[in-house]
Amino acid sequence: MMKRNWWRWALGVLVLIGICWPAYTWSKANIKSLKTAGRTRMAPVIMVPGSSASQNRFDDLITELGKETPQQHSVLKLTVQTSGKIKYSGNIGRNDNQPFIIVAFGNNKDGKANIDQQAVWLNIAFKDLVKTYKFNHFRALGHSNGGLIWTLFLERYLKQSPKVHIDRLMTIAAPFNMESTSTTTKTSMFKELYQYRSGLPNGLTAYSIAGTENYTSDGTVPYNSVNYGKYIFQDEIKHFTEITVTGANTAHSDLPQNKQIVSLIRQYLLDENVPSKIRKQNQQQPRN
């Protein structure tokens, strides 16, 4: 009698699973569909160079990406003049859903006051891009002070475009504590970034890459300054990862086209399928 009841119980469980499993898989697929509903096909990768760099700063990087990438990206370049007017060159391909857009500035000088103003100019360019190309999500890359400009923009200005969301941010050698090598002294630039950190999008995934020739500096930006980024991003966004790249071609100006960093961009910013060997090497990079 007990044996017969056991089989009935087991049969009931199997029937229940047979009924519930299709409902579960449908629900899971439906939730995923709802999460992506309303997202535009176009999701550009917008790049901002550092001080003294023009709209051509990422040409070598784009060339390196084009050597192995399965997808060819069209390139649009902008320079925002001090008047706020924008000069465009290049174009976005008709069927390109992940174009590269470079935003540079007529006044590209260093210094906190200039970086603050460049964040304002980035906002002008960003609004014009959204109005023209109708995208509602994007990814961002900033080299050197370009990483500071992006951080300020995300903290203070992205909210002015409330229907647009950032998916991922990658900064390369961003001096969050400017030229300071100290682990305790805080510059006015860092204090501002720290003050407004609650404005960062809480769903953001960010990667901060540091290059070191001698484990203290990339020849221009101190490692300790890049490391200060963790005090800005950690506990404010969804995911923050710091990656340190050493070895050949890790001088500050070489970093955007450094082959290790190119592979990190492909894997983490562009979501491309990189060879398993390279993927494993990327995952073994020193991190905080």
| pLDDT score of 184 more than 60 | yes
- pLDDT (tens digit, 9 = 90+) per residue, 25-42? 544 444 343 344 488 999
Question: What does residue 59 show for φ and ψ, rounded to 5 degrees?
Answer: -60, -45
Cα-Cα-Cα-Cα torsion 192, 175, 198, 264, nearest 10 degrees, comes to 170
**Better-predicted residue by pLDDT, 1 or 99:** 99
| pLDDT score of 149 more than 90 | yes
Q: Average pLDDT over the chain, rounded to whole?
A: 87
Model pLDDT, residue 72: 81
Specify the range with the lowest mean pLDDT, choosing from 90-94, 105-109, 125-129.
Answer: 90-94
Model confidence pTM above 0.85? no
Mean pLDDT of all residues in 224-230: 97
**Better-predicted residue by pLDDT, 28 or 179:** 179
Model pLDDT, residue 1: 46
Q: Specify the fold of 42-283.
A: Rossmann fold (3.40.50)
Model pLDDT, residue 196: 98
Model pLDDT, residue 18: 63
Mean pLDDT of all residues in 150-155: 98
Model pLDDT, residue 199: 98
Alpha-carbon distances of 90 from 73, 107, 273, rounded to whole Å: 12, 21, 27
**CA atoms of 157 and 152, how far apart (whole Å):** 8
Q: Where are the domains of the chain?
A: 42-283
- pLDDT (tens digit, 9 = 90+) per residue, 38-88? 889 999 999 999 999 999 999 999 999 988 766 789 999 999 999 999 999
